Every structure is written in structure tokens, then in C-alpha cells.
Amino acid sequence: HHASSNPGVALHGEHLAYVIYTSGSTGRPKGAAIRHDALTNCMVWMQETYQLTDTDAVLHKAPFGFDVSVWEIFWPLSVGVRLVVAQPGDHRDPERIIELIQRHGVTTLNFVPSMLKAFLAYPDVKAKTRLKHIMCGGEAVPATLQQDVAECLDGAHLHDLYGPTETTIHVTHWWCRDDAHRQIPIGRPISGTRTYVLDGELNLVPQGVAGELYLGGISLARGYLNRSDLTAERFIADPFTEGERLYRTGDLVRWREDGQLEYLGRLDHQVKIRGLRIELGEIEAELLAQPEVREAV
């Protein structure tokens, strides 16, 4: 019974583009509310940095609950590049991924490091693929992985992309190079993004000293959907820029002498499983919801 014409809804950059839920420490997932301005900034930066052309094809294989899926879809579509859509579950099957790459001439795709390692171990991966860009994120990238890519895939570039869901997919980047003796950094901020390494009193720490990573700029989410308490806790007033906010990542980092950010670990009990954030409190809450466990406790 609805009209078949375009509804012509007026949009501006502060409107929400999407909400993606992440694991919550109390067992209740929280929804990061991402604005159109933030998403547009990320997509424009990706195209300016990696420059897809009409000879490229991007593979969309990430589950929709993983924010990598957002760039997999909207980056190629925003610049007129072919988008290849995998079937649900294909992201776990290296053979199926290689088949899609071959059939559709895929040049650009994303892997979490653990899955990339399994992909590279597949027989004849070099002969069967002609990849240009491999985006890697979701968890720390081992230093040996860039060497494996160089040995297994001629001409492919490995990129380490870092970013919490609350800051629109990724906010720092590193173009991996032959530097296997060092840990891969998470790099420098993308356009429109500010990065600070701070101590517990929100003071800037010197180069080489570990501190918590705080993020600011256009990439920040509006906050958590209908969770003003959590929003106030994680999105704080920016002490360096009046009227702006910073997001507390909970990630321990340091500035390297070459000006790149190095990831050192977490400051809380959050863990990553195949790139997905899991708060251990959520697992505890699920266990305690089971009658037998609750009774035993």
C-alpha cells in the first residue's frame, strides 16, 4: 500500500547511517550509532588512499554484524567498482574464497589475521589469485604475516587497518612493508581523525611510553543507542579541542620513534576471537543464566 516512488527523505551528515552492536561487559550488547558524515569520511579516505579503478572487484564476505562489511559494500559501490557478494559462511572456507576470486577477478578483500594465515596455506594460492590489496584488521597482525604474503602472493599489498566499532570501521592505517624483524604498527590516523596517547590523568605521554589510545574527530560515533550512561563513560570531553569529544579505546599503545603507533594490548578484560570483540563479562552473564551453573555458584 506504500507509494512506489522514491520517498525523498532529506538527509544530513548528523543522521545515522547504521547501528552495529558490540559485546557488553554486563552481558547486554551495546549499539554504536554511526553518522553519515563519519561513514562518508572513511569511504572517501579509502578511495583516495587505495584508488580502486574499473578493473577492480571487491569481495564482500564479512558477516553483517562486523563493521568491515560496511566498507566492503559501500566503498566499491560509491566509486562504481564491481562488488562480489559471497554466500553466508564463505568467509570460513579458503577454497570457496579462492573460487570466487578466480571467477570474478577479485582484486581487493579483507581478512582477519587468523583467516589470512589459513588462506595463504591453501595449495596453489599464488597461481590462482591476482590480488592487489589485502586489508587486515580485527586483531593484532603478526609480524610474520607480511612476510608470508610477500612469499605467497606476488604483487599483493598488505594493509593493517585499526579501528573500534565506535569510531567508524577504521581510524589508523599502516601499509605493510618488508620489515619482518619488527612488530607491525597500527600506523597513523586517517583523514579527519585525531589520535592521543594519554596517561590516567589525561596527560600526553612521551614517545616510547605506553598509554591509553584516545580518538577524536569526524570518525566518532554519536554514542551508544539509548545508553547515555555508557556513552558518557566512553565518550569524554576533549581536553585539547574545545567543544569536541574523545573516545576511550581501552587499548594500550605507544608512539614509536618513526612516528607510528604500536599496539601493546588491552587495559581491560576484552578479548578478540577471529576479529570479533568479546567482553568476558558477557560470557560470565550467559553462564550464570544457566540454572545448573547458578545453583553451583
Backbone angles phi, psi at 9, to 5 degrees: -70, 130
Full domain range(s) for residue 42: 16-197+272-296
Cα separation, 184 vs 158, whole angstroms: 11
Q: Tell me the mean pLDDT in the region 36-61.
A: 97
**The pLDDT of residue 274:** 66
CA distances from 198 to 19, 213, 248, 255, 258 (A): 28, 7, 10, 11, 19
Is residue 47 helix, strand or coil? helix
User: Is residue 105 a part of any domain in this protein?
Assistant: yes
**The pLDDT of residue 46:** 98
Query: Across the chain, what does the average pLDDT equal?
Result: 91
Beta strands in the chain (DSSP E): 16-22, 30-35, 57-60, 82-85, 108-111, 133-136, 157-162, 172-175, 188-189, 193-198, 211-217, 223-224, 235-237, 245-255, 261-266, 270-273, 276-279
User: Is residue 257 a part of any domain in this protein?
Assistant: no
Q: Strand pairing of 188-189 and 157-162?
A: unpaired
Instruction: Render pLDDT for 167-222 as a digit per residue (tens, 0 to 9).
Output: 999 999 999 986 655 678 999 999 999 999 999 999 999 999 999 999 999 999 99
Cα separation, 237 vs 246, whole angstroms: 6
- Cell of residue 7, nine digits: 520517498
Backbone angles phi, psi at 272, to 5 degrees: -115, 130
User: Is residue 214 a part of any domain in this protein?
Assistant: no
User: Is residue 1 a part of any domain in this protein?
Assistant: no
Give the pTM. 0.88
User: Is residue 255 a part of any domain in this protein?
Assistant: no
User: Is residue 86 a part of any domain in this protein?
Assistant: yes
Number of domains composing the chain: 1
User: Is residue 78 a part of any domain in this protein?
Assistant: yes
Instruction: Render pLDDT for 237-277 as a digit per residue (tens, 0 to 9).
Output: 999 999 999 999 999 999 999 999 999 988 877 777 766 77
Phi-psi label, residue 33: left if phi above 0, alpha if psi -120 to 50, beta otherwise: beta
Kindly report the CATH number assigned to the domain that includes residue 36.
3.40.50.12780
- Cell of residue 29, nine digits: 550488547
Q: Tell me the mean pLDDT in the region 109-136.
A: 89
Instruction: Render pLDDT for 93-120 as a digit per residue (tens, 0 to 9).
Output: 888 999 999 999 999 999 999 889 989 9
User: Is residue 25 a part of any domain in this protein?
Assistant: yes
